[in-house]
Structure 1
Amino acid sequence: MKKLAAAALGSLMAGGMVMAQQTVPGMADRLAACIACHGKEGRATADGYYPRIAGKPAGYLLNQLQSFRDGRRRYPMMNYLLANLSDDYLQQIATFFAAQHPPYPPAVPSDAGAAVLERGRLLVSQGKPAQAIPACASCHGAGLAGVQPGIPGLLGLPRDYLNAQLGAWRNGERTARAPDCMGEIARALSPEEINAASSWLSAQPVPADYAPASAPSTPLPVACGSMPGTGAAR
């Protein structure tokens, strides 16, 4: 996979970053480096690490591309690939993948015990009210499908990927535009709680009509930089 990604990256770079600053035809052909890791149409691959990007809200995808370019998220290949790309071109990439809707594969059964899965279910659906930690569903939607323009869906993602990202937020390796709501939430969770939530989420089937909501159904419980003006400050 690394050789394939490197070859695709080399092909893209050979095309010239000057072209990346322009609106060009054949967008799918231009995204060979993305597809090498994230799979055809951005549907993800079976290695359990690279996430699905197909069908995510375009605003969310743009935020992540900008974060990799600007150093708020760190992964060497992504940082290098995006370093010289303009906001306009990143928007084109985000819009392309947001419009892709390939089917999801069946959920992978979890090897976590029943107690761990139940703990995860409660964190996702109820949060930790005594510690003022909101439920995942209160921001990501009742069906966990995400909310336009900036909140992603949580189903159909591998447990290893979810653990890695929540762990990165908890350890300060991943940040977002202030207020960094996910950073605050992840730091308030224990590693065991993160594993429980990731185990439960990754084991859930994805409904056929899974798609982000057009807007929050209620005000978000916390202020979040990815959704300005939609949440209350704690």
Structure 2
Amino acid sequence: MLKKRASGGDITKTLSAPEYLVCSAQASAVTAVITNPLWLVRVRMFTSQANSPNAYRGLWDGLSTIFHKEGTLGLFRGTTLALVGVSNGAIQFVVYEKMKAWGFDRKRRQHEQAGKVYDREADKLSNLAYTVMSISSKLAALSVTYPYQVVRSRIQNNAQAVLFPTIPATIKRTWAQEGPRGFFRGLGTNLVRVLPGTCVTFVVYENLAWLLRTSAATRAEAGR
């Protein structure tokens, strides 16, 4: 919907890098705000013992407990950092689109050099290419933005509220005790979690987008 609005209703129009950046940032911001309470409960359930008197019995118990003890604002603890994380998706999409544009340009040149016709059937990269580009763009985004996830998780962990009461204090303590590597704790596990889904999402999207483009062009030609 955001892409359609940015393109003036023409879904086949290629957006510029700034337009992709704005669209992805808007979508990521909305998602971050809506899902923050769920992330908060998840972090606290992971960092507390099951037999602890303050442990949450489930998602609803966690949400209701936070609401009654900390109010509505408590449910959105860490939202500021979540919004900082919007840049993750924005960076990923910009890098991905740039890589994809380079891939298509290279494929067109190869067709021209071989004397082949570059038609809409050929206007598609391989699934391997889409996979490599999705992984590379995700790695680029995480290398820049991952530290915010560490800080956010420590801020939301009520068991460590004394050690990490604020964002500046959390950053300072993490740097002093663990150095730069402390801001990338859990990165390997996070990659195992997100990369498969990222690859599948982009490959399926690109194949569906190509199918819709070719189908629309075929119908347009048939209607002439």
Question: Normalising by structure 1, what TM-score?
Answer: 0.22
Name the structure with the higher helix share.
2
Tell which structure's C-alpha radius of gyration is larger.
2
Question: Normalising by structure 2, what TM-score?
Answer: 0.23
